[in-house]
Chains A and B, each alone.
Chain A
Amino acid sequence: MTEKKIEKLYVSDREIVIPGDVLAEGMSYLPSGRAMREDNKIIATSLGLTNIKGHVIKIIPLAGRYIPKRGDAVIGKITGIARHGWRVDIRCPFDADLPISEASQSYIDTNRYPMSKYFDVGDYIFASIFDISENRFIKLSTKNRPYRKLHNGIIIEVSPTKIPRIIGKQGSMIKMLKENSGCDILVGQNGWVWIKNDDPEKQMLMSKAIRKIETESHTTGLTDKIKKMLNTKGGKK
C-alpha cells in the first residue's frame, strides 16, 4: 500500500490568519516568517497576513512589539549616563547602550567635557544596532551618517509592524512625506518616528498623516490620499 500524499494549500494570498491556522499540507510547502512546520502541515504562529510566492508561505505579522535585530536603524532616548557610555531606551524589553567608542568619529574627551555635553538625559538619537550579545545586551552606534543626535523635533509612537508602510516601496512614502511638508522625518524600526519643523502646526499635521498611514496601512491608493491631505491642509495656511 502506498502512502497517500496530500499536497494542498488552504489559504490564498493576502489573507488574515491567526495562530494555529493550518495554511497548507504537504512537504513541498515551506514556512517563512510567522509560520512553522508541524509534521506535514504548515501552521501560522501569529496574527498576520499571508504572502505566497510559489511554495513559500510567508506570514507577515500584523501586530506586536519591536524585537531588536542587528543592523536595524532605531530611534532611542538617552535615559542615563554611565562611565562607559550612555544608557538608551529603544522601546524594547532589553537594555541598550551607546558606548563612548561608538558615539562619534571624532575623539570624545570625557576628561575635558562632561558626557552630558555630547548626549544628555532626555535627548533622542538615531542609531544603528551594531551588536546584540548572547544575553541580549544591545550596543548602538551613532558613528556613521545618517546616525546622530536629534535636535529638537517631536517623537511619535507607531506600531513597529507598520514601519515598512511608512517608509514605502524603496522609500517612496517617506520621500513623498518630506517633499510635501518640508518636515525632516526619520523612522526607527522600533516604531518611533521623529518629525522636525519650526512650525509646530506642520509637525502636528505630519504626525496626523503618519497616524493615518498607520491605521490605513493595508488600503490601496494610500500615498495619493496622504499627499492630498498634506497639500489641502497646508494650502489653507
Chain B
Amino acid sequence: MNNKENSNLKDYLSKLLKKKIREDGRKPFDYRKISVETGILSQANGSARVKLGDTEVLAGVKIGAGTPYPDGPADGTLMVNSELSPIASDRFESGPPSPASIELSRVIDRAIRESGTIDVSKLCIKSGEKVWMVFVDVYPINDDGNLFDIGLIAAMAALKNARMPKYDEKTEQVNHRELTKDKLPINEEPVMCTFGKLDGEIFVDSTEREELVMDSRLSIGITKKGNICAMQKGGEGTITSSEMMDMIKKAQELSKDLRKNL
C-alpha cells in the first residue's frame, strides 16, 4: 500500500466515499453480487466455485486418514490452506507462500476452527491410531479484492458439499475412488465481513483498487448466533474502538445475507 504513489486514486475514492458512494456505484455497505456453484470437481471430496463481482475463488476439500496428534488421540484434524497463485493477479508471485497468502489461510482457518464448525471428535477412526484428516484448499482464480470474505464462503461451501471417502477396515486404507453418503460433522456456519477504512470512511467488500489505497482493514468472523469467532486487522493504518464496535454491529447484520449463500 504505497499511498504516495497512488495519491490521486486515494483522493478520488475518498471524495466519493464522503458522498457515500463507491467507484462502481455501490453504497459503502453493499456487497457485490455473489454466486456459488458446488460439487463441480470429481477428484475432490467437496468443491465450490464462488464469484463476488469479478473476484473468483475455487475451494476444494480432500479427506484422508492419518495418525492423530498426541494431545487429541481421538480427534480428527482440520487444515486450511490457501495459495495466491500468479494466475489470479499480476501482483502474485510464484514460489513459496507469501505472507499475504499465509495470512489469508490462517484467518479463514481461525474462523472455521474457533467457531467449532467441524466436530473433530466425530472424525475418529481408531482412537490413538487413525483419524480423518480434512484439508481445505482455497484457490483464487481472479483477484479483484476481498479474498477473505469470499474465501471463507468458498471454504464453507466446499466443506458442506463434501462427502466422506470409504475406509477399508481390512486393509486399513482409504478408498478415494468410492465416496459414501456421509457428510462432514458440521455444526456451525461462520461467515466473514471485511471492512476497509479510507480517510476515516468505512466500507465493506473492497475492490482491488480500493485495497491499493485503503489505510486499514478489519475482518470479522460471525457465527450463526451472531457471536464473533475471529478478527484480524490489516494495513498500516489504525482503527478506533468505537469504529470497531460499529463494524461488529454492521457485520452481525450483513452476516445474515452472506450466510444465505451457503
Contacts and interface: CB of A to CB of B under 8 A. Distances in A.
A27 B204 CA distance: 62
Interface residues of B, number: 14
A86 interface: no
Interface stretch (A15-23, A28-36, A128-136, A196-204): A196-204
Interface stretch (A4-12, A92-100, A152-160): A152-160
A121 B5 contact: yes
Among A77, A122, A155, A203, chain B packs the most CB atoms within 10 A around the CB of A122
B9 A200 contact: no
Contact of A154 (B4, B5, B12, B19): B12
Nearest to B21: A201
Contact of A153 (B4, B6, B8, B25): B8
A154 B11 CA distance: 9
Contact of B9 (A79, A155, A201, A204): A155
Nearest to A150: B8
Interface string A148-188: 00001111000000000000000000000000000000000
Given A200-B19, A201-B19, A152 B11 contact: yes
A207 B11 CA distance: 16
A124 B148 CA distance: 32
B223 to A, nearest CB: 37
A154 B6 CA distance: 10
Interface residues of A, number: 14
B144 to A, nearest CB: 13
A121 B4 contact: yes
A122 B7 contact: yes
A153 B7 CA distance: 10
Given A152-B11, A201-B21, A204-B23, A77 B16 contact: no
Interface string B15-35: 110010101010000000000
Given A154-B9, A203-B12, A122 B19 contact: no
A154 B8 contact: yes
A204 B15 CA distance: 11
Given A79-B5, A152-B11, A200-B15, 9 more contacts: A77-B5, A121-B4, A122-B4, A153-B8, A155-B9, A200-B19, A204-B23, A204-B25, A207-B23
25 contacts: A77-B5, A121-B4, A121-B5, A122-B5, A122-B7, A124-B8, A152-B8, A152-B11, A153-B8, A154-B8, A154-B9, A154-B12, A155-B8, A155-B9, A200-B12, A200-B15, A200-B16, A200-B19, A201-B19, A201-B21, A203-B12, A204-B16, A204-B21, A204-B25, A207-B23
Q: Which 3 A-B pairs have the closest CB atoms?
A: A200-B15, A122-B5, A154-B12
